[in-house]
Amino acid sequence: MTNTLNAQELDALVRSGESYTLEFKERPDKSLASEVSAFANASGGRVVIGVTDQGVVVGTDTSNAARSRVQDTLNAIEPRLQTTLSVVENLIVITVPEGRKKPYSCPQGFYLRSGPNAQKMKRDDIVDFLHAEGRFRYDTVAREELLVADNFNADTFQDFLTKANITGILSRDTLLINLGCAKLVAGKLVYTNAGGLFFRNNQDDVAYLQAKVICALYKGNEKVIILDAQELHGGIMENIERALIFLQRNLRMRYVISGIRRENIPELPLEALREAVINAICHRDYAEEGASVMVEIFDNRVDITNPGGLPKGVTKENFGTVSVARNGVVANLLHRAHYIEKMGTGILRMQRAADARKIPAPTFSFDGFFRISFPRPELAADEIASVGENIVTRVETEETRVESTGTRVETGEARVENTGTRVEIGETRVEIPDAKAEDMGTRDFILAAIRDNPLVTTPDLAKATGMTLKGMEWHLRKLRDEKRIIHVGPTKGGRWEVVLHGLL
């Protein structure tokens, strides 16, 4: 938009009529400041003084004194706005740029251009505007009703400190404040939203119901028949880990022959799925309380979706090349804990992981929600080793045997059969007569294994269930927190004991 117009250009502009970027005023009255601030809060525009609403040129006083009065009116806009005031024949033209320090206010309040009109914004409108402009940072807001002393997960905090390599020299409260997780308000330590999302006991926490992650496995390519589903209500780090466990449990494993050895690999690169899950949980719009992060597995794809489109400053054109964190404190905490390796590189790493596996790259869509879709590759029956914990075809080598008739797995040290459920780990065997491990629930399965062999190790349990070591550690920690098991003796060489009705 040029700052000055000649008489011919202005005549053509007036003939076009009022619009989103053009306003007529017969005289410079008190509403002038609201019209100009509305343009600054939108995309900029022009105010032409000396033209009626019907587009009739009547002219106005263009003397130095009149222009000085117009400028005095504009000086009431806050923060200070740089406009261009010019005279064309008997008209005054005010050229208004899009503001760089939105929102702008005038003595009458906050206004925003909507179509050919300036609309006064109400409280909720202002909040939405600030959020859309990236001026409102949900994760930095202090929650005065959420006292740290009332609800604090010490285990999660210690886990974070360990991952972030932070020593315990400073006090807990000082660390929380320095990390942006808490603030002192009226002498009391209260959570910021970032701190609450990370370190509160969030199970059924009404303060952060929107922070849950919903995982679902569907039959087919539509949301009709649900085969498996979980709602994750933990803190941010816990939800990331559990969402990845859900994906690993329900995706297919394929085998490839490398030299004389066979290697089982997931059908989709786990590092790419990990980046997508972290991206969704880190950058979702937490101010949107009616939607959750979704991790969904269909026959032909995996969709990972979060509320909130592209943040302010990111466009379809520069997507993937610039980094703007919607939740800066959350992103910093995940970076410290090594969930995010380097800001702004996640999209590229997902694409490179797909290229390395010679599978289709993920696709991205942003329509108020941000969605990453991973096409699932087509696998021949003789390529498939398993679906998570569920064996679906037959492969035989010298060390491993898998049969779809009755789901049997033998790997030298471990064997699972669905004649009931039998797990053999070295010389240890656990039999549960009437249920598969996946049917009876992972934690019940762990309890049964511990009852049978109190000396069973975490790696043994992970191997028996087909779970990652980190995933098994998470389940054991939860069972300990729920006082369903205890560990007696040293970390290495001790034993597990199952607690029954509060007694050993």
Tell me which residue of 68, 125, 62, 74 sits closest to 99, measured CA to CA.
74
Q: Give the angle subtended at the CA of 389 by the CAs of 384 and 393, to the nearest 5°.
A: 30
pLDDT band for 2, please (50, 70, 90 cuts): low
pLDDT band for 459, please (50, 70, 90 cuts): confident
- Of 31-35, 124-128, 133-137, 410-414, least confident by mean pLDDT is 410-414
CATH 3.40.1130.10: does it fit domain 391-498?
A: no
DSSP 8-state secondary structure symbol assigned to residue 308: S
Looking at this protein, which amino acid is placed at residue 358?
K
- Of 108-117, 274-283, 335-344, least confident by mean pLDDT is 335-344
Model-level pTM? 0.59
- Cα 172 vs. chain centroid, distance in angstroms? 26
Average confidence (pLDDT) over 300-312: 87
pLDDT band for 340, please (50, 70, 90 cuts): confident
For the chain, the average pLDDT equals: 81
Beta carbons within 8 Å of 64's beta carbon, 6+ residues apart: none
Find out whether 48 and 10 touch, Cβ atoms under 8 Å. yes
Q: Where are the domains of the chain?
A: 7-132, 138-209, 211-375, 391-498
Q: What value does the CA radius of gyration of the chain take, rounded to a whole number of Å?
A: 31
For the chain, the helix, strand and coil percentages under 3-state DSSP, each to the nearest 5: 35, 30, 40
Q: Residue 119: pLDDT above 60?
A: yes
Q: Outline where DSSP puts E strands in 136-195.
A: 142-147, 182-185, 188-192
Q: Residue 380: pLDDT above 80?
A: no
Q: Residue 404: pLDDT above 60?
A: no
Q: What is the pLDDT of residue 367?
A: 81
CA distance 41 to 222: 42
Burial 105-127 (b: 16+ CB within 10 A, else e): bbeeebbbbeeeebeebeeeebe
Give the pLDDT confidence of 122-160 residue by residue, as tens digits: 887 887 777 776 666 788 889 999 999 999 999 999 999
Average confidence (pLDDT) over 285-301: 92
- Which top CATH class is 211-375? alpha beta
CATH label, 7-132, candidates 2.30.30.140, 1.10.1050.10, 3.30.950.30, 3.40.50.720:
3.30.950.30
CA distance 171 to 131: 33
CA distance 251 to 302: 9
Give the pLDDT confidence of 152-198 residue by residue, as tens digits: 999 999 999 999 998 878 899 999 999 999 999 999 999 999 999 99
Average confidence (pLDDT) over 26-37: 94
Give the pLDDT confidence of 62-79 residue by residue, as tens digits: 999 999 999 999 999 999
Question: What count of residues does the chain have?
Answer: 504
Find out whether 141 and 192 touch, Cβ atoms under 8 Å. yes
Find out whether 361 and 343 touch, Cβ atoms under 8 Å. no
Average confidence (pLDDT) over 209-231: 92
Question: Which of residues 418 and 89 earns the better pLDDT score?
Answer: 89
Question: Which of residues 34 and 481 earns the better pLDDT score?
Answer: 34
Tell me which residue of 200, 182, 179 sits closest to 191, measured CA to CA.
182
**CATH topology agreement for domains 211-375 and 391-498:** no
Q: What is the pLDDT of residue 326?
A: 81
pLDDT band for 321, please (50, 70, 90 cuts): low
Phi, psi dihedrals of residue 456, rounded to the nearest 5°: -60, 140
Question: Which of residues 490 and 147 earns the better pLDDT score?
Answer: 147
Bridge partners, residue 85, by sequence: 94
Other Cβ atoms closer than 10 A to 148: 21
Find out whether 114 and 31 touch, Cβ atoms under 8 Å. no
Question: Which of residues 448 and 136 earns the better pLDDT score?
Answer: 448
Find out whether 443 and 478 touch, Cβ atoms under 8 Å. yes
pLDDT band for 410, please (50, 70, 90 cuts): very low
Helices 469-481 & 442-452, crossing angle to 10 degrees? 80
- Cα 269 vs. chain centroid, distance in angstroms? 20
Query: Which three-class secondary structure state does DSSP give residue 370?
Result: strand
Beta carbons within 8 Å of 339's beta carbon, 6+ residues apart: 237, 240, 278, 282
Other Cβ atoms closer than 10 A to 239: 23
Find out whether 281 and 293 touch, Cβ atoms under 8 Å. yes
pLDDT band for 266, please (50, 70, 90 cuts): confident
Average confidence (pLDDT) over 496-504: 59
Q: What is the pLDDT of residue 265?
A: 81
Average confidence (pLDDT) over 349-365: 88
Q: Residue 256: pLDDT above 60?
A: yes
Locate 58 and state its tokens: 């009547």
